[in-house]
Copies of this chain bind each other. A is one copy, B any other.
C-alpha cells in the first residue's frame, strides 16, 4: 500500500473546506499530525464517501464488446430466453466482463458493488466462478458482493435449487430471488427455498420483485412474514418493488408500514418508465433505501454506464426532487443507503472510517449530482485508485 495522504482543501458533503488526513487506510481524527503524508491539493472539491452500486449485474454486461443490436420481443420472458441464447452466441465471459464493468464503476466513484450473478441450469455456476475471480482479483480496489441469482427461475427449472445452494457454499454472500409469483409460479415454494438457504448459510437475502400492483403486494407481504418469523430484520432487501409505486396511496401506506416494521431495505434503479417506490415517502418511514444501475448495456437493454452519480440524478428526476436538500437525499441513497444494505462497517466520513472516498465537482451536492463531472479522485482504503474519470487499474 502506498503511504498516507493529506487531502488539502476538501469540503465534506459540500461543507466548509478542511484538510483530511488518511492514515493507514482510514480517516484520521481532525488535527492528527500529518507526518510524512503526501499532500494532495483538492481545490475545494466536495468530499463524499465512496458511491455504492447496490444493484447491478456484473456478469452479463456487454461493456467493451461490439455493439449488440437489440431486436428482442416485449415480454419479460423474451428477454430472459434471449439472454440465455445470446450468452452462448456472443461469448459473454463473466470474469472479463465483470472486471470491465467493476473498474468502469470505480472510475465513476463506486467503491462498493453488490452484483446479482446468474445461476441457472444451462450456465451452472460459471458466472458465479467468473465474478468470484474478479472479486478476488480486485479485492482492495473495489469491493464486490455476490448475490446468487436464479434469473431463469428457481422451481420452474429443476436443478436450480441445488445450484443455488452450491453457489452459497462456494462463497456467494447473499441469497437472491426473483418474482415468486410471476416467474416461479409458486410463491410459497420459492420463498421457502430462498429463506431456507439464508437461514442455513446465515446470509442475507435480496429479492428482485418486478411484480406490479396487488401481485407484487402479495409477494411483498409473504416476504415480510418470513422476515419477521425468522428474525431476519435488517437482513432482507427487496429490489425494484414496483408494487410500492402503485396508484393506491392507502394500500401503499400500509405496505410501507409493514416494510418498515420488518426493517426490509428497498433497492431501486429508479426506472423512468415504471412505477417506483417514492424516495421521500420511504425516507420518512425510516426505511433504508439504496440504488443501483441494474443491467449496464446488456441484452436486456442498451442503457447505463455504471455511474452512480448519474443514478442519483435519475433518482432525482424520477422522484421529482428539485430542492437542494432533496438532491442531498438522492446522494445519500447512492452512498450511505447502499452501505447499510451491504452492511459495510466503518463506512462514512467520520474519523476511523475506512478511507473509501470520492471527490465531486460542484458548489453543492446538488450541483455535483446534476453536473456529473468526471470524478477527480477516487480513493479506496486510503489509496488513489482512479483519477479524472479513469481507473488506475487495468481490466484483464
Q: Which residues of A does B touch, CB under 8 Å?
A: 66-67, 69-72, 247, 270-274, 297, 300-305, 313-314, 316-320, 322-325, 327, 362-364, 366-367, 370-371
Contact = CB atoms under 8 A, between A and B. Distances in A.
A302 B273 contact: no
A149 B319 CA distance: 27
A314 B366 contact: no
Contacts of A274: 320
A324 B70 contact: yes
B302 A367 contact: yes
Given A272-B318, A364-B67, A370-B297, A72 B323 contact: yes
29 contacts: A66-B363, A67-B363, A67-B367, A70-B322, A70-B324, A70-B366, A71-B323, A71-B324, A72-B323, A247-B247, A271-B317, A271-B320, A272-B314, A272-B317, A272-B318, A273-B317, A273-B319, A273-B320, A297-B370, A301-B322, A302-B322, A302-B324, A302-B327, A302-B366, A302-B367, A302-B370, A303-B317, A304-B370, A305-B371
A323 B70 contact: yes
Given A67-B363, A271-B317, A72 B303 contact: no
Nearest to A70: B323
Nearest to A362: B67
Nearest to A304: B370
A331 to B, nearest CB: 13
Contacts of A67: 362-364, 366-367
Nearest to A314: B272
Nearest to A364: B67
B69 A324 contact: yes
A72 to B, nearest CB: 7
A323 B317 CA distance: 23
A-B pairs, 5 with minimum CB distance:
A272-B272, A273-B320, A67-B363, A301-B322, A272-B318
Choose among A69, A71, A322 the residue with the greatest number of B CB atoms under 10 Å from its CB.
A322
A72 B362 contact: no
A301 B324 CA distance: 9
Contacts of A327: 302
A93 to B, nearest CB: 20
A62 B366 CA distance: 14
Contacts of A70: 322-324, 366
Nearest to A301: B322
A169 to B, nearest CB: 36
Nearest to A69: B324
Nearest to A273: B320
A71 B328 CA distance: 12
Nearest to A370: B302
Given A70-B323, A271-B317, A272-B318, 11 more contacts: A67-B363, A69-B324, A70-B322, A71-B323, A71-B324, A71-B325, A270-B272, A272-B314, A297-B370, A300-B322, A304-B370
Contacts of A247: 247
Nearest to A315: B272
Contacts of A371: 305
Given A66-B363, A67-B362, A370-B297, A303 B324 contact: no
